[in-house]
């Protein structure tokens, strides 16, 4: 960075020249600064001035070179702990030929970034990454053309090193000197060629996670850590169960408590606002004690859930049609059928939902951990009857969400409260019970499979039936998707936006099966559901890859060989073969004390390829087992940040092991009883397995989404390992009774 | 209201507060320290841990008056001048973070363990970190990071 010659334009004249107002919005002074640089240079980079998004076709909407010799990347996607900030900056730095260390990034903000919908479906690097890559290449080309024009040479005679363009006869000029504080107004034309992978210097190398230095020092980072002058603290009391109505609340008993600014009762929406956080919590406790509710009961209990699914589902949707699958299965040499079940699972974010909102002069600003700032803006407009132009949603890091958790609900509630206290910043944080009992869960599912195999062990026909509630009720413009909008006096009705494809995600086998049929029975279950990491893929792959293991046993073929035999996708086969050699399959422990389970899937049948081997050990305790190790192999195409990919995959493996072995949301007629970490235990360090991840990097291929690849296969691998030790098949999750946890 | 005094990150502090108020809110709201976090308010997840006389303790429930006269260190106090604490360095080296919400509990518990036992076994490390909820599944990296510090004998 020292080599850069900066243009003479100083910051003030730059701002004047570009006609921008510097709205001082820097909540954390170093928030936009890569920490490494902040540490080493001890400089305070304040970030680029704000500028409204100018449209996706303009380079400047994705890449901005400021007057100070920095590069800022803009993305509509959110950092959720998956490490996209680092990966997206690597992509930009690579195409621009600038050092990674001078790059910064701004995540979703309706005031500044493109609308890229939700940060979901392992789609950020594939989606936003490709837009940023193209914009960066276009920026580089534009700057090269400018230099070529200036020097009267062809761009073929130019090279770029660390943001400095080098020409014939020792000529050099930096990007920043060329721009001299101007915006990159050029359009993304598609003319610029993307750098070929063999020239990559930054992509494919491990870079430090963008915020880790701040994190280990406990610096402000999360939406929870925002502090504004005279900010007020709010808490919300949710009803005891879905559909319960507020009968009475003596608000005088609350408003007289110390520090209370306001008690809000609107229908069955109850909130309290106080000067100090602890005062709000005390009032919240008191409200819980004295509130009278007309309770609504949950009708379908968990022991009757799967029977109810079969009885009360809609007539099935034929996702894959077949005129007579039954007869094809019956004609096979051998046939088999099984039914698998998974319970409701919780996102269970470590930190409860939190948002800050401010209502001022008919304008609303919300700082939110949402996965989508633009969908949030749309839905708040519906909720508040306000034109969306008057709403600004600024994405802030939250505690890891793994899908649609409380983030949108808490943001909407903060907005409802802020509307009643104009001019004040309102910080609303959910309590643990709010989070556990009111977040939308990953749906319980039942999957019935039936298949036939021929004499060679090739699968000839396959029938899938799925029973599931929806896997997406994201509030994409419809306020009724916010729980508290349903509790208001003028309540918004919840209208399910149809059942999405999430329920049959990965249900169709990647295996080469000529005849197949897939039926989906959509079901409206007793609990609130939405997107949880992988959606239906978790349950479907658990069933599919358990069933494949059963078929391998039936065919008397080694589980690796059976899968390879029934695949024709070379990348899928390579992932499985690589796993076989990495885990030294031929020399495995065959003493009978160790069980091994294999599983494979290509996420969504279109994203990352992933295979995993689970190793389960018999415990000295009779009839108990321990998950000893998970070894995974992943092919995500072109790997941007190897350690980031490993980290996220390891995390998915441990999280899935926790779901599979330990977790099921508990409830009774009076509501959800999984209200904290004792009543909904998850895996902790004493029980986590050793995890090992190997990457097959394919620099010549496009990058593939990876964040959800491990969820389903890990479940099946653990079940397959356990079943081999038990010498009987396990069909229902969780596996708690078998494990020493 | 009551006057409570304690040592916080090496400095003597005295505040006038509701003696029932848990220490967590005082650290966050009075002292503007963001490291200790609210996770559950029930002493089940350890997001709110600080060091009290070298022991890792949760701060989300215990009234602040129980910290009267104690020596409190938060994650913000671990760094010496410009030098990160060896545990902080090890977490960076191992890239032991995903969303990062549990890092406070992990680091504070690791420091507490290493102050009483500078060469813990893997079992002892796991036990020391067991009270902390991490939903991203970064556990194996936390264990590796702590091992790294212990084997370098700091």
Looking at the fold, whether B46 and B99 belong to one and the same domain comes out as: no
In sequence order, what are the residues at sequence separation of 6 or more whose Cβ sits closer than 8 angstroms to the Cβ of residue A586? none
Looking at the fold, whether A242 and A372 belong to one and the same domain comes out as: yes
* Overall domain count for chain B: 2
Q: Write down the pLDDT at residue A2.
A: 33
The listed range with the strongest mean pLDDT (A17-31, A51-65, A460-474) is A460-474
Inform me whether the pLDDT recorded for A459 exceeds 70. Answer: yes
Structural domain ending residue among the three candidates B40, B74, B108: B74
- Answer whether residue A378 is part of any domain: yes
Cα–Cα distance, A564 to A573 (Å, whole number): 6
Q: Give the nearest partner residue to B34 out of A83, A218, A281, using CB atoms.
A: A218
Question: Where residue A280 sits, what CATH number does that domain have?
Answer: 3.30.365.10
Looking at the fold, whether A199 and A232 belong to one and the same domain comes out as: no
Interchain CB distance below 8 Å, A81 and B98: yes
Tokens 């700057």 appear where? A143
Structural domain ending residue among the three candidates A388, A405, A433: A433
* Interchain contact B109–A (C-beta under 8 A): no
Q: Write down the pLDDT at residue A120.
A: 85
A34: nearest Cα among A94, A100, A93, A81: A100
* Interchain contact A253–B (C-beta under 8 A): no
Interchain CB distance below 8 Å, B98 and A400: yes
Going by the DSSP 8-state scheme, the letter that residue A442 receives in this structure is B
Question: Where residue B135 sits, what CATH number does that domain have?
Answer: 1.10.150.120
Query: Across residues A635-662, what is the average pLDDT?
Result: 97
Instruction: Summarize pLDDT for A602-623 with one digit per residue, the tens.
Output: 999 999 999 999 999 999 999 9
Looking at the fold, whether A182 and A231 belong to one and the same domain comes out as: no
Mutant choice from A28, A36, A276, A351 vs B, greatest count of B C-beta within 10 A: A351
Q: Write down the pLDDT at residue A430.
A: 98
- Answer whether residue A707 is part of any domain: yes
3 state SS of A84: helix
Inform me whether the pLDDT recorded for A396 exceeds 60. Answer: yes
- Answer whether residue A710 is part of any domain: yes
Q: Write down the pLDDT at residue A108.
A: 95
Domain extent at residue B70: 2-74
Cα–Cα distance, A84 to A107 (Å, whole number): 10
Find out whether A163 and A97 touch, Cβ atoms under 8 Å.
yes
Inform me whether the pLDDT recorded for A54 exceeds 90. Answer: no
Cα–Cα distance, B78 to B56 (Å, whole number): 13
Looking at the fold, whether B58 and B115 belong to one and the same domain comes out as: no
- Answer whether residue B79 is part of any domain: no
Find out whether A409 and A380 touch, Cβ atoms under 8 Å.
no
* Parallel, antiparallel or unpaired: strands B71-73 and B2-8: parallel
Query: Across residues A691-717, what is the average pLDDT?
Result: 97
A96, β-bridge pairs: none
Inform me whether the pLDDT recorded for A20 exceeds 50. Answer: no
Q: Which residue of A has its CA nearest to B103?
A: A216
Looking at the fold, whether B64 and B91 belong to one and the same domain comes out as: no
Interchain CB distance below 8 Å, A352 and B39: yes
Q: Which range is least confidently modeled, A56-70, A419-433, A535-549, A583-597?
A: A56-70
Q: Write down the pLDDT at residue A23.
A: 29
Instruction: Summarize pLDDT for A94-146 with one digit per residue, the tens.
Output: 999 999 999 999 999 999 999 999 988 778 888 899 999 999 999 999 999 99
Cα–Cα distance, A534 to A530 (Å, whole number): 11
Residue A175's φ and ψ, nearest 5 degrees, are -50, -40
Q: Write down the pLDDT at residue A498.
A: 66
Residue A554's φ and ψ, nearest 5 degrees, are -60, -40
- Answer whether residue A3 is part of any domain: no
Tokens of A722: 């356990």
Residue A148, Cβ density class (10 Å: 0-12 exposed, 13-18 middle, ≥19 buried) = middle
Interchain CB distance below 8 Å, B88 and A216: yes
Domain extent at residue A270: 223-295+347-433
* Parallel, antiparallel or unpaired: strands B2-8 and A594-602: unpaired
* Interchain contact A22–B (C-beta under 8 A): no
3 state SS of A460: strand
Query: Across residues A280-303, what is the average pLDDT?
Result: 97
Tokens 């939110």 appear where? A368
* Interchain contact B67–A (C-beta under 8 A): no
Looking at the fold, whether A228 and A330 belong to one and the same domain comes out as: no
Mean pLDDT across chain A: 92
Question: Where residue B66 sits, what CATH number does that domain have?
Answer: 3.10.20.30
* Interchain contact B100–A (C-beta under 8 A): yes
Count of CB pairs separated by less than 8 Å, A with B = 181
Q: Write down the pLDDT at residue A184.
A: 86
Looking at the fold, whether A179 and A325 belong to one and the same domain comes out as: no
Residue A514's φ and ψ, nearest 5 degrees, are -65, -40
Q: Give the nearest partner residue to A682 out of B34, B92, B133, using CB atoms.
A: B133
Place A387 in a pLDDT band, splitting at 50, 70 and 90.
Answer: very high
Looking at the fold, whether B100 and B51 belong to one and the same domain comes out as: no
CB atoms within 10 A of CB A197: 15
- Answer whether residue B80 is part of any domain: no
Inform me whether the pLDDT recorded for A38 exceeds 70. Answer: no
Going by the DSSP 8-state scheme, the letter that residue A316 receives in this structure is P
Interchain CB distance below 8 Å, A218 and B35: yes
Looking at the fold, whether A468 and A428 belong to one and the same domain comes out as: no
Looking at the fold, whether A25 and A136 belong to one and the same domain comes out as: yes
Place A48 in a pLDDT band, splitting at 50, 70 and 90.
Answer: confident
- Answer whether residue A365 is part of any domain: yes
Cα–Cα distance, B146 to A709 (Å, whole number): 28
- Answer whether residue B81 is part of any domain: no
Task: Give A5 or A454, the one with higher predicted confidence.
Answer: A454
Looking at the fold, whether A419 and A516 belong to one and the same domain comes out as: no
Q: Write down the pLDDT at residue A10.
A: 37
Q: Residue-wise over B14-48: b if at least 16 C-beta within 10 A, else e?
A: ebebbeebbbbbbbbbeeebbbbbbbbbbbbbbbb
Instruction: Summarize pLDDT for A347-385 with one digit per residue, the tens.
Output: 999 999 999 999 999 999 999 999 999 999 999 999 999
Cα–Cα distance, A586 to A613 (Å, whole number): 13
In sequence order, what are the residues at sequence separation of 6 or more whose Cβ sits closer than 8 angstroms to the Cβ of residue A638? A197, A203, A204, A697, A698, A699, A700, A701, A702, A703
* Overall domain count for chain A: 3
Beta strands in A500-647 (DSSP E): 515-522, 594-602, 609-618, 625-635
* Interchain contact A222–B (C-beta under 8 A): yes
Looking at the fold, whether B10 and B66 belong to one and the same domain comes out as: yes
- Answer whether residue A189 is part of any domain: yes
Tokens 């893929």 appear where? A537
What does the longest C-alpha to C-alpha distance in chain B come to? 47
- Answer whether residue B140 is part of any domain: yes
Structural domain ending residue among the three candidates B45, B74, B103: B74
Residue A493, Cβ density class (10 Å: 0-12 exposed, 13-18 middle, ≥19 buried) = exposed
3 state SS of A179: helix
Chain B nearest CA to A486, separation (Å)? 26
Q: Give the nearest partner residue to B75 out of A217, A220, A400, using CB atoms.
A: A217
Interchain CB distance below 8 Å, A351 and B101: yes
Structural domain ending residue among the three candidates A433, A451, A474: A433
* Interchain contact A229–B (C-beta under 8 A): no
Q: Which residue of B has its CA nearest to A353?
A: B39
Q: Which residue of A has its CA nearest to B28?
A: A225
* Interchain contact B63–A (C-beta under 8 A): no
- Report ipTM (2 d.p.): 0.98
Structural domain ending residue among the three candidates B74, B100, B119: B74
Cα–Cα distance, A479 to A382 (Å, whole number): 6
Instruction: Summarize pLDDT for B88-104 with one digit per residue, the tens.
Output: 999 999 999 999 999 99
- Answer whether residue A308 is part of any domain: no
* Interchain contact A432–B (C-beta under 8 A): yes
Looking at the fold, whether B9 and B65 belong to one and the same domain comes out as: yes
Structural domain ending residue among the three candidates A433, A457, A492: A433
- Answer whether residue B8 is part of any domain: yes
Find out whether A236 and A430 touch, Cβ atoms under 8 Å.
yes
Mutant choice from B99, B102, B120, B133 vs A, greatest count of A C-beta within 10 A: B99
Instruction: Summarize pLDDT for A223-282 with one digit per residue, the tens.
Output: 999 999 999 999 999 999 999 999 999 999 999 999 999 999 999 999 999 999 999 999
Tokens 């990491």 appear where? A533
Looking at the fold, whether A598 and A452 belong to one and the same domain comes out as: yes
Find out whether B35 and A218 touch, Cβ atoms under 8 Å.
yes
Interchain CB distance below 8 Å, A351 and B75: no
Interchain CB distance below 8 Å, A278 and B18: yes
Chain A nearest CA to B112, separation (Å)? 15
Looking at the fold, whether B56 and B91 belong to one and the same domain comes out as: no
- Answer whether residue B91 is part of any domain: yes
Place A185 in a pLDDT band, splitting at 50, 70 and 90.
Answer: confident
Cα–Cα distance, A372 to A124 (Å, whole number): 12
Inform me whether the pLDDT recorded for A463 exceeds 50. Answer: yes
- Answer whether residue B143 is part of any domain: yes
DSSP string spanning A112-153? TS-----S-TT-HHHHHHHHHHHHHHHHHHHHHHHHHHHHT-
Looking at the fold, whether A623 and A700 belong to one and the same domain comes out as: yes
Cα–Cα distance, A194 to A133 (Å, whole number): 7
Residues of B in contact with A218 (CB under 8 A): 33-36, 74-76, 103-104
* Interchain contact B102–A (C-beta under 8 A): yes
- Answer whether residue A187 is part of any domain: yes
Looking at the fold, whether B56 and B92 belong to one and the same domain comes out as: no
CB atoms within 10 A of CB A167: 19
Find out whether A655 and A716 touch, Cβ atoms under 8 Å.
no
- Answer whether residue B124 is part of any domain: yes
Helix (H) or strand (E) holding B2: strand B2-8
A381: nearest Cα among A472, A223, A492: A492
Q: Write down the pLDDT at residue A49.
A: 84
Looking at the fold, whether B62 and B42 belong to one and the same domain comes out as: yes
B55, β-bridge pairs: B52
Inform me whether the pLDDT recorded for A536 exceeds 80. Answer: yes
Q: Which residue of A has its CA nearest to B88?
A: A216
Tokens of A93: 């730095």
Interchain CB distance below 8 Å, A686 and B100: no
Helix (H) or strand (E) holding A356: strand A354-360
CB atoms within 10 A of CB A688: 25
Looking at the fold, whether B34 and B70 belong to one and the same domain comes out as: yes
Looking at the fold, whether B59 and B11 belong to one and the same domain comes out as: yes
* Interchain contact B107–A (C-beta under 8 A): yes
Q: Which residue of B has its CA nearest to A218?
A: B35
* Interchain contact A21–B (C-beta under 8 A): no
Q: Write down the pLDDT at residue A513.
A: 98
Inform me whether the pLDDT recorded for A11 exceeds 50. Answer: no
* Interchain contact A632–B (C-beta under 8 A): no
Looking at the fold, whether A724 and A620 belong to one and the same domain comes out as: yes
Regions of chain B where pLDDT drops below 50: 154
Looking at the fold, whether A174 and A70 belong to one and the same domain comes out as: yes
A198: nearest Cα among A699, A538, A673, A725: A699
CA dihedral A51, A90, A84, A609 (to 10 degrees): 140
Place A499 in a pLDDT band, splitting at 50, 70 and 90.
Answer: low
A215, β-bridge pairs: none
A212: nearest Cα among A79, A118, A107, A97: A79
CA dihedral B109, B113, B118, B122 (to 10 degrees): -80
Helix (H) or strand (E) holding A212: helix A212-216
DSSP string spanning A36-58? HHHHHH------PPP-----TTB
Q: Write down the pLDDT at residue A456.
A: 97
Cα–Cα distance, A424 to A414 (Å, whole number): 11
Tokens of B117: 């036992």
């Amino acid at each position: 960075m020292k080599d850069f010659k900066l243009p003479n334009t100083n910051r003030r004249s730059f701002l004047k020249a570009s006609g921008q107002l510097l709205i001082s919005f820097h909540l954390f002074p170093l928030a936009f600064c890569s920490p490494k640089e902040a540490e080493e240079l001890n400089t305070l980079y304040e970030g680029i001035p704000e500028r409204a998004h100018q449209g996706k076709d303009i380079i400047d909407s994705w890449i901005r070179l400021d007057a100070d010799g920095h590069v800022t990347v803009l993305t509509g996607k959110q950092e959720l702990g998956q490490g996209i900030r680092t990966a997206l900056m690597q992509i930009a730095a690579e195409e621009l030929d600038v050092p990674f260390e001078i790059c910064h990034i701004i995540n979703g903000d309706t005031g500044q970034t493109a609308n890229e919908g939700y940060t979901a479906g392992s789609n950020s690097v594939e989606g936003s990454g490709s837009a940023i890559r193209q914009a960066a290449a276009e920026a580089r080309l534009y700057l090269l053309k400018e230099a070529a024009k200036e020097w009267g040479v062809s761009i073929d005679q130019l090279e770029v090193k660390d943001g400095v363009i080098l020409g014939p006869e020792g000529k050099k000029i930096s990007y920043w000197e060329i721009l001299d504080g101007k915006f990159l107004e050029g359009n993304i034309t598609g003319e610029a060629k993307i750098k070929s992978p063999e020239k990559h210097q930054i992509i494919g190398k491990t870079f430090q996670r963008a915020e880790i230095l701040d994190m280990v020092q406990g610096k402000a980072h999360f939406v929870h850590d925002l502090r504004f002058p005279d900010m007020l603290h709010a808490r919300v009391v949710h009803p005891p169960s879905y559909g319960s109505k507020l009968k009475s609340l003596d608000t005088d008993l609350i408003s007289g408590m110390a520090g209370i600014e306001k008690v809000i009762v609107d229908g069955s929406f109850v909130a309290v606002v106080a000067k100090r956080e602890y005062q709000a919590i005390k009032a919240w406790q008191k409200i819980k004690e004295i509130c009278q509710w007309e309770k609504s009961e949950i009708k379908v209990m968990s022991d009757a859930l799967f029977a109810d699914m079969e009885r009360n589902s809609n007539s099935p949707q034929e996702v894959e049609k077949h005129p007579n699958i039954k007869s094809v299965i019956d004609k096979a040499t051998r046939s088999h059928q099984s039914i698998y079940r998974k319970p409701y699972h919780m996102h269970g974010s470590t930190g409860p939902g939190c948002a800050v909102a401010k209502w001022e002069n008919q304008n609303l600003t919300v700082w939110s951990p949402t996965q989508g700032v633009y969908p949030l803006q749309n839905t708040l407009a519906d909720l508040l009857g306000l034109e969306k132009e008057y709403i600004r949603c600024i994405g802030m890091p939250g505690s890891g969400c793994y899908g649609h958790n409380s983030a949108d609900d808490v943001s909407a509630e903060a907005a409802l409260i802020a509307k009643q206290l104009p001019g004040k910043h309102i910080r609303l944080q959910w309590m643990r019970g709010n989070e556990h009992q009111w977040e939308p869960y990953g749906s319980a599912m039942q999957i019935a499979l039936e298949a036939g195999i021929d004499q060679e062990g090739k699968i000839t026909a396959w029938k899938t039936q799925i029973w599931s509630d929806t896997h997406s009720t994201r509030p994409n413009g419809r306020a009724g998707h916010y729980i508290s909008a349903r509790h208001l006096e003028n309540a918004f009705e919840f209208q399910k936006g149809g059942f999405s494809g999430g329920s049959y995600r990965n249900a169709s086998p990647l295996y080469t099966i000529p005849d197949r049929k897939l039926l989906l029975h959509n079901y409206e279950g007793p609990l609130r559901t939405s997107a949880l990491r992988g959606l239906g893929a978790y349950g479907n792959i658990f069933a599919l890859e358990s069933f494949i293991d059963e078929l391998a046993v039936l065919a008397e073929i080694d589980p690796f060989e059976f899968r390879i035999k029934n695949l024709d996708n070379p990348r899928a086969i390579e992932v499985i073969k690589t796993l076989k050699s990495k885990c030294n399959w031929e020399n495995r422990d065959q003493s009978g004390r160790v069980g091994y389970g294999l599983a494979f899937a290509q996420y969504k049948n279109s994203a990352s390829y992933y295979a995993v081997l689970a190793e389960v050990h018999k415990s000295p305790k009779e009839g108990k087992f321990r998950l000893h190790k998970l070894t995974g192999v992943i092919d995500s195409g072109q790997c941007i940040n190897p350690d980031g990919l490993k980290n996220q995959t390891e995390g998915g493996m441990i999280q899935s092991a926790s779901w599979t072995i330990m977790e099921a949301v508990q409830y009774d007629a009076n509501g959800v009883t999984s209200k904290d970490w004792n009543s909904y235990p998850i895996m902790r360090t004493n029980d986590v397995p050793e995890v090992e991840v190997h990457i097959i990097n394919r620099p010549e291929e496009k990058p593939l989404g990876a964040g959800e690849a491990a969820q389903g296969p890990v479940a099946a691998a653990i079940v397959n390992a356990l079943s081999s030790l038990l010498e009987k098949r396990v069909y229902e999750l969780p596996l708690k009774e078998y494990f020493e946890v | 209201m009551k006057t409570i005094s304690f040592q916080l990150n090496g400095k003597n502090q005295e505040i006038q507060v509701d003696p029932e108020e848990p220490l967590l809110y005082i650290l966050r709201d009075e002292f503007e320290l963001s490291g200790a976090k609210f996770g559950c308010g029930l002493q089940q997840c350890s997001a709110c841990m600080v060091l009290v006389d070298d022991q890792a303790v949760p701060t989300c429930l215990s009234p602040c008056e129980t910290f009267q006269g104690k020596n409190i260190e938060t994650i913000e106090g671990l760094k010496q001048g410009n030098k990160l604490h060896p545990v902080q360095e090890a977490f960076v080296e191992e890239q032991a973070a995903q969303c990062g919400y549990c890092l406070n509990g992990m680091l504070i518990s690791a420091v507490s363990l290493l102050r009483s036992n500078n060469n813990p076994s893997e079992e002892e490390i796991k036990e020391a970190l067991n009270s902390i909820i991490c939903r991203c599944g970064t556990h194996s990296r936390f264990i590796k990071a702590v091992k790294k510090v212990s084997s370098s004998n700091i």
